[in-house]
Amino acid sequence: MSIDIAGVVDRLQVVFQGYPNLVRAFNTLLLMGYALKQDDQQGGGGAGDA
């Protein structure tokens, strides 16, 4: 099983939900053109809109 960058971004979007500092930090590691969407709402990382 293999996963591409877009797959990693999709999975981590869920994992990092509610943790904007982690999102910003991880975005610095991604190749240009890829980024996690920043959720400006503070939350506990529970179930989301997705």
Which residues, 6 or more positions from 49, have their beta carbon under 8 angstroms from its beta carbon? Answer: none
Question: Can you give the pLDDT at residue 20?
Answer: 93
Quick: pLDDT tens for 33-48: 889 988 765 444 444 4
Residue 50 has pLDDT above 60, yes or no: no
37 within 8 A of 12, measured Cβ to Cβ: no
Shortest CA distance to 13 belongs to which of 3, 2, 32, 27?
A: 27
d(CA 1, CA 33): 24
pLDDT top residue among 14 and 50: 14
Shortest CA distance to 20 belongs to which of 47, 48, 45, 49?
A: 45
